[in-house]
Amino acid sequence: MLYNYAYKINEQERNDNKLKIAFLFPGQGSQKVGMGKDIYQNYEEARKIYNRASEILGIDVTKLCFESSEEELGKTQNTQVALVVTSLAILEILKQNNINADISGGLSLGEYVALIYGGYINFEDGIKLIQKRGYYMQNYVPEGEYQMSAVIGMDSKKIEEICNEIDGFVVPANYNYEKQTVISGEKEAVEKAKERLKQEGAKRVIPLKTSGPFHTNKLKEASELYRKELEKVKFKTGNKSVMKNLDGSLYSDKDDFIDILANHIISPIRFDKEIELMKNEGIDLYIEIGPGKTLTGFIKKQNPDANVMSVSTVEDINNLISKSKEW
């Protein structure tokens, strides 16, 4: 769905091609059964992406996205593949219509779509990596009950202090925007932290639809196994700017991609810093590509004047293509 598309582009900006666009790709938790189905049915470009991914991975990605149960789709190894392929299918339609971005990024697994778009990883390697990443993150979690919860309305520094005081394992995992941080860890410790956070002034603490203590050291074994998969991949020289979750900076050809993406699994996500980077880069329009409005929602919270759009349906795509003719 499109929303907050209220800005005007003056004639000089249009002529000088100064409209700066960011593409953003969602992460785990945004999935829903049926996502991308109308796009698959209406666009040959999308069908090619789904079918090619299915052939590479040896699974029916369309069945996974369109016909599985919420429980089946919610399994990490399924979620990651389904979300990435859906975002790539939409992205391909936009590219075919000459809609491109000056900068791109994603939340956790969404960063891989950005890396494929930016030319750092080819399609086949990226899809295979995501399948392996999801498998390790689902199957190499230490025994125990874990929880991730979003803390709203509290400064991240205060959240860090409270987590450090809790008896048990709980740490900040996703810094979504300046007033929302996700904590992750052992369920009992997360529940203790929840009570303290509310006492100290947090507006809300909301459990998330995730199945593991992601972006914490609890996934160290998964990270180490995944590193071996990364070592098999030949990373390329990129041709577009892509943001890093680790610190909110831009990828460089000199970066150690193996080290960054292995640590990506166990390190906190700094999407708040990416929001600041995009603002400083003078982005005019933020487009979330894939199900939901999570990332554009984060941006609006931290930067209320931002112009944002989300694209997940045929109607959204058609509206965006129509608007792009004005640029």
If one compares 254 and 209, the residue with the highest pLDDT of the two is 254
72 pLDDT exceeds 70?
A: yes
2 pLDDT exceeds 70?
A: no
For residue 30, the model assigns a pLDDT of 92
pLDDT band at residue 6 under the 50/70/90 scheme: very low
Residue 108 annotated in active site: yes
Question: What does the H/E/C string look like for the chain?
Answer: CECCCCCCCCHHHHHHCCCCEEEEECCCCCCCCCCCHHHHHHCHHHHHHHHHHHHHHCCCHHHHHHCCCHHHHCCHHHHHHHHHHHHHHHHHHHHHCCCCCCEEEECCCHHHHHHHHCCCCCHHHHHHHHHHHHHHHHHCCCCCCEEEEEEECCCHHHHHHHHHHCCCCEEEEEEEECCEEEEEEEHHHHHHHHHHHHHCCCCEEEECCCCCCCCCHHHHHHHHHHHHHHCCCCCCCCCCEEECCCCCCECCCCCCHHHHHHHHCCCCECHHHHHHHHHHCCCCEEEEECCCCHHHHHHHHHCCCCCEEEECCHHHHHHHHHHHCCC
215, 223, 310, 312: which is the annotated catalytic residue? 215
Which domains, ranges and CATH numbers included, belong to the chain? Answer: 11-141+217-324 (3.40.366.10), 146-207 (3.30.70.250)
104, 108, 149, 223: which is the annotated catalytic residue? 108
pLDDT band at residue 12 under the 50/70/90 scheme: very low
For residue 29, the model assigns a pLDDT of 86
Residue 264 annotated in active site: no
Average pLDDT over residues 129-147: 95
pLDDT band at residue 211 under the 50/70/90 scheme: low
For residue 7, the model assigns a pLDDT of 36
Average pLDDT over residues 20-43: 96
212 pLDDT exceeds 90?
A: no
